[in-house]
Amino acid sequence: LNYFFLFSAIVLIAFGQITQKRASEVFSGFDRVIPAMNALLRSGYFWLSVLFLATGLAAWLIALSSIEVSKAYPLLSLSFAVTALLSRWLLHEKISGFRWLGIASITLGATIMLIA
Amino acid sequence: MKEMSSRTATGLVLLSVILTSCAQLLFRISMQGLPLLESLASGDVASAFSLVTSSGLVMLAFGIALYAASMLSWIFALSRFEVSLAYPLLSISYVLVYVGAIALPGLDETASLLKMIGIAVIAIGVAVISLGERRSST
């Protein structure tokens, strides 16, 4: 069950990024920052991203209360790869070999840092 | 908005990374001086209330404000960059938080070889991603 919360946290954080990207699309058509911010605060995707990130944080904190930090943190860095997969699926982003290689290296480096 | 230059968007990504890192450090500092959850858990509501006025809470609030600013800067950057490009770059904040925790007094983080190796591997990943973008844009 605790791993359920951990993987929920990873997926929720990834969805948080996807919805932030969607929210950023409201900026097209605005020349000034203030009206653009107004549009952002009225965007459903923005509040959805806040919801995803807040529930992701809550799930992460619940998971941390029972999973050892040295196991939980490396798994959290999977969120880079999950975000990439979701962005390909939902946003149709093309992910080059360079990006996959970079993401793999960053995931490995983050894992090393988080358990060290 | 008019399409911002990729240089501006890169600047916004870095600004967001720096703001997030500062927020994380403030969270750490405030949690050290704010055993609020412990007071509440032990049923000591009176001392939990007295902590509300402590400097730890001020830093916590400041951290949350920086976090919100970071999120705005991030969304502006995302209006220009794909999320599969920008999000991995957020890992730079692991490095900044680590360096900050070593440098700042009161956060007793010590340097370790393994973490230095982790930083190097992250840096290689960031370099590979930016190299790939430079290639595809020419």
Is the minimum CB–CB distance between B61 and chain A shorter than 8 Å?
A: no
Distance CA B54, CA A5 (A): 32
Q: What share of chain A is helix, strand, coil (3-state, %, to 5)?
A: 80, 0, 20
What is the share, in percent, of chain A residues with pLDDT greater than 70? 100
H-assigned helices in B2-107: 6-32, 36-41, 45-51, 55-78, 83-86, 92-103
B94 vs A contacts (CB less than 8 Å):
110, 113-114
Is the minimum CB–CB distance between B125 and chain A shorter than 8 Å?
A: yes
Q: Name the minimum distance, in Å, from the CA of B15 to any CA of chain A.
A: 16
What does the DSSP assignment read for A2-17?
HHHHHHHHHHHHHHHH
CB atoms within 10 A of CB A61: 11
Among chain B residues, the shortest Cα distance to A78 is held by B88
State the pLDDT at residue B1: 52
Best of A20, A43, A113 to disrupt the B interface (most B CBs within 10 Å) is A113
> Which range has the worst mean pLDDT, A60-64, A103-107, B72-76?
A60-64
Distance CA A8, CA A63 (A): 9
Region B12-21 average pLDDT? 95
Q: Name the minimum distance, in Å, from the CA of A115 to any CA of chain B.
A: 9
Of B60, B1, B114, the closest CA to residue A109 belongs to: B114
Return the residue matching tokens 């973008």.
Answer: B133
pTM: 0.85
